[in-house]
Amino acid sequence: MNCNLRNNGELVLPNGRRLVLKDYYSTPSNESNLYCYDQNGSLLWQSPVKPSEDDHYVAVRINNGRLFGNTWGCYLKEISLENGAILSSVFTK
């Protein structure tokens, strides 16, 4: 499965989970804007965007079953689909 998710979008995964990328301009600086919900709408995880508290995701994509997110601060992060943890982070600018 390969797909892209842009700002203020939602993606339903094959297992029924939903990835939600909220608008980064309206998200408080100390909160992430990437969420994962189960089939019943319960929050499973909210992915951090460290190292900066005021950074947000601007786009995410799934490539070969792996979740990647680009941040406003020019980081490419691999994110665990299971729990939202940051698996790797690379500065891209």
DSSP, collapsed to helix, strand or coil, labels residue 61 as strand
Q: CB within 8 A of 6, min separation 6: which ones? A: 21, 59
* Assessment of whether the complete model's pTM goes beyond 0.85: yes
H-assigned helices in 1-93: none
DSSP, collapsed to helix, strand or coil, labels residue 7 as coil
Q: What is the pLDDT along the chain (93 residues), one digit of tens a residue?
A: 666 766 668 988 889 999 999 998 888 888 889 999 999 999 999 998 765 667 899 999 999 999 999 999 999 999 999 999 999 999 998
Domain topology for 3-91: Thrombin, subunit H (2.40.10)
**Domain parsing of the chain, residue ranges:** 3-91
